[in-house]
Structure 1
Amino acid sequence: MTTSPGHPKPRTRLIATDLDGTLLCAGGTVSARTAAALAAAEAAGVQVVFVTGRPPRWMQQVSSHVGGHGVAICSNGGAIVDVRRGELLETFPLGPEETLAVITALREDLPGTAFAFEYPGGFAREPGYEVRMWGSDESHPVGPAEELLGAAGAVRGLFKLLAKHPDLDPDTFLARARTAAGHLAEITRSSPIPLLEVSAPGVTKASSLARWCAEHGIDRTEVVAFGDMPNDLEMLAWAGTAYAVANAHPEVLAAVPLHTLSNEADGVATVVESLLAADGAAGGATGKAAAASA
């Protein structure tokens, strides 16, 4: 579907929004206004899909705020989750050999890098990978990458590899990692610290969102997306309409022409409310025109 001059803009059928730094306020909460806007969107027949770097196991942390909505594309496209039921629907894994190739390349070019692993069974990490995040106090396998990914290792069906460096600038870390291993996998970042997120080749927020939309007969021109960090860039470029929140990374603000208010100022809700009002007005005008011609 394309929109040419003189033709009306397609109605919004799906809202795709990042969570941390975009939809969620500090502390991982959703404001009452944002919750109401998302509920109004769904009541109007608009799908709401959360497209996040968070692993599926982290969705339970926000399920009380967003659990009324059906689907989350997690781990930068690596996993699709039914939020209501807490069920993992589909994953797009990075194979053990490919994962070890990425690890080897990053170790050689960026000494001091340590790795962690997100997979259907949970979370695992190398001893040098320090964890200071929600859920890190839960029991999880710890060992060398080669052991965790080996035939007898715990990691099966890896859908996101995490790489952490002790002291590099986050953007420098990303640039160097892409030079060293970008031909082997998708490498991005969403954290304020030097922490990279690695997915299978071709697996991004955009690829999994496009797949979901195709399965539901939704054209990209009918999608409105929101984001704030480099891991959102492919999704924002793919969506028919895209907004960067005011607090977004400079690269995102530069790449995305449309901006909204920050996450703390209900930027997503502000746009969603306007979209619903515009679509409602357009629908009313169409109905009146049809009645007049009858």
Structure 2
Amino acid sequence: MPAPLGYALIATDLDGTLLRGDDTVSERSLAALARAAAAGARHLVVTGRPAPRVRTLLKALGSTGLAVCGQGAQLYDAGADRLLWSVTLDTETAETALGKIEAEVGEVYAAVDQDGADGLTLIEPGYRMPHPTLPASRVERREELWQAPISKVLLRHPVLSDDELAEVARGAVGSLATVTMSGPGTVELQPCGITKATGLALATERLGLGRHNALAFGDMPNDIPMFHWAARGVAMANAHPELKAVADEVTLSNEDDGVAVVLERLFP
């Protein structure tokens, strides 16, 4: 059965969008996604979290299909529990980029997400995880961050805001890496040219779908490429102003089931 209004694909971010603050998906949201699925729409999680950090959440959603992880650097098959595709950030390039940023703003605190379906999140001294529920392994020296291939680097600054750090980082690293801001306390460096849109395009190609019937939900500037790619972008009430500025619609917050509100209207 074709999805109403042509929306055959529903792409949702997780943190600050589909997830509530306690990392759960409400029963209302689950029911709305189920109604959309019954009408023929496919749901794709498109998240900045690396694949190992989404397994439990995908199970809660009953997802056995594809998920775009690591800001688009990973395409994960939940049913087979394996990565179908991944792009790594060269560690020498990452070190160079960090050096250029620190030359501008002084010391930053860094963490990395290792590549692979079982990759670890490593954090150096001074780095504080923005999501305390996410597991991480602390290392004693920055050099230990580069002990295995990585998908991205996460940055925090002791004084600068996320917006300020992201702006400086973009100017400092140039084409060495793509700079994104995916949540409070989460400025990231990922492989150059990789975004949620590139990962989503790869996933939809495998599914035989396209951008013309895609509906996207998000809350942070890292969702902007996805909004530009999709036919319609819906920002949460709690979204960053940069995302609201390019959204086609603003719904309620993640705590108030904003995703469900829109889906209930489109898939009654």
Fold conserved (TM > 0.5)? yes
2:49 pairs with 1:54: yes
Give the Å deviation of 1:90.
1.9
SS at match of 1:171: helix
Instruction: Provide closer, same or farther for how the CA distance between residues 247 and 131 of structure 1 changes in structure 2, counting only shifts above 3 A.
Output: closer
Counterparts of residues 253-264 of structure 1 (less than 5 Å): 253-264=244-255
Give the Å deviation of 1:48.
0.5
Structure 2: stretches of 5+ with no match in the other structure: none
Q: Which amino acid aligns with 1:46?
A: A
2:201 pairs with 1:210: yes
The more displaced of 236-245 and 101-110 is: 101-110
Query: Which residue of the other structure, out of 188, 192, 197, is the alignment partner of 1:197?
Result: 188
Give the Å deviation of 1:85.
4.5
Higher-Rg structure is: 1
Query: Which residue of the other structure, out of 5, 11, 18, is the alignment partner of 2:13?
Result: 18
Q: Find runs of 4+ consecutive structure 1 residues off by over 6 angstroms.
A: none
**1:210, 1:269 → 2: CA distance?**
24
8 Å contact kept, 1:67–1:83: no
Q: C-alpha offsets along residues 218-250 of structure 1, whole Å, 9 cap, x if unaligned?
A: 121110000111111110111011111111111
Q: Equivalent residue for 2:70?
A: 75
Q: Which amino acid aligns with 1:134?
A: T
8 Å contact kept, 2:111–2:155: yes
SS at match of 1:21: helix
8 Å contact kept, 2:58–2:64: no
8 Å contact kept, 2:5–2:266: no
Query: Which residue of the other structure, out of 173, 178, 182, is the alignment partner of 2:165?
Result: 173
Q: Which amino acid aligns with 2:101?
A: L
2:240 pairs with 1:269: no
Query: Which residue of the other structure, out of 158, 163, 171, is the alignment partner of 2:155?
Result: 163
**1:110, 1:69 → 2: CA distance?**
43
Q: TM-score, normalized by length of structure 2?
A: 0.89
8 Å contact kept, 2:9–2:43: yes
8 Å contact kept, 1:48–1:71: no
Structure 1: stretches of 5+ with no match in the other structure: 1-8, 278-294
Give the Å deviation of 1:64.
4.3
Q: C-alpha offsets along residues 247-289 of structure 1, whole Å, 9 cap, x if unaligned?
A: 1111111221311122122211122222224xxxxxxxxxxxx
Q: Which amino acid aligns with 1:244?
A: A
**2:64, 2:206 → 1: CA distance?**
18
Q: Which amino acid aligns with 1:269?
A: A
**Quick one: percent identity of the two aligned structures?**
39
2:221 pairs with 1:224: no
Between Structure 1 and Structure 2, which shows a larger proportion of strand residues?
A: 2
Q: Equivalent residue for 2:126?
A: 128
**1:80, 1:143 → 2: CA distance?**
31
8 Å contact kept, 2:17–2:259: yes
Q: TM-score, normalized by length of structure 1?
A: 0.82
Give the Å deviation of 1:162.
0.8
SS at match of 2:84: strand
